[in-house]
Amino acid sequence: MDFGNILSFLEKLSENNNREWFNEHKAEYTQLKNEFENFIQQLIPKVNEIDPSIGLLEAKDCVFRIYRDVRFSKNKAPYKNHFGAYISNSGRKSKFAGYYLHIQPGESFIAAGAYSPEPEILKEIRFEILDNLKSFKSIIDTNEFKKYFNGIIGESLKTAPKGFPKDFEGLELIKFKSFEVIHSLENKALQLPDNEEYILKVMGIAQPYNNFFNKVIAHTINEE
């Protein structure tokens, strides 16, 4: 899929983020939204081949709305300036680690990992890293992983989490409160004929990382 038209629309929306302009261009938005959903629908079974844990989802369960909730935000712009979809077990509202595709002019990316996990899940992830540091590092320290993902970028504690040893070799890893990694996508890459193949390649590299978290998450959810 050539994302050029979506990128062009989003650039114009960013400059005209108001209801009047959006309503005037609603037909264009609807067409582009349908194209994006169709792309995600075609992508899902291919991602499922890489990671069978996600199941065969519907695009409508993965794609985020463009409308912003401005009730508690200082930014009152009514629309998001990006298209996004989260392919994960049970879709965009999932507790599981998954694959997020973000389309935004100059700021597109693919993300993976456990994003802001709930407190009980976060605690169990930290214990899993504590008990299996070598296994976790064997995923994030590979040359291929580091080539495509430049480290974990989630928010982190300043000191050791309560109940965890301060002298633990992997202390910096268990300080994280969120475990996302991202791979940036240039505008021109999104307009190449093989962009789907490239997106799938990056998601495939992220699969072992997601799998590490999802084993913990599945066990924790089943224990609830």
Share of the chain above pLDDT 90, in %: 94
Structurally, how many domains does the chain consist of?
1
pLDDT for residue 64: 98
CATH of the domain at 126: 3.30.930
Mean pLDDT for 82-110 is 97
Mean pLDDT for 75-91 is 95
**78: which residues sit within 8 A by CB, 6+ positions away?**
17, 18, 19, 22, 67, 68, 70
Residues in the chain: 224
pLDDT digits (tens, 9 = 90+) for 15-70: 999 999 999 999 999 999 999 999 999 999 999 999 999 998 999 999 999 999 98
pTM above 0.75, yes or no: yes
pLDDT for residue 73: 83
Domain extent, residue 123, equals: 4-223
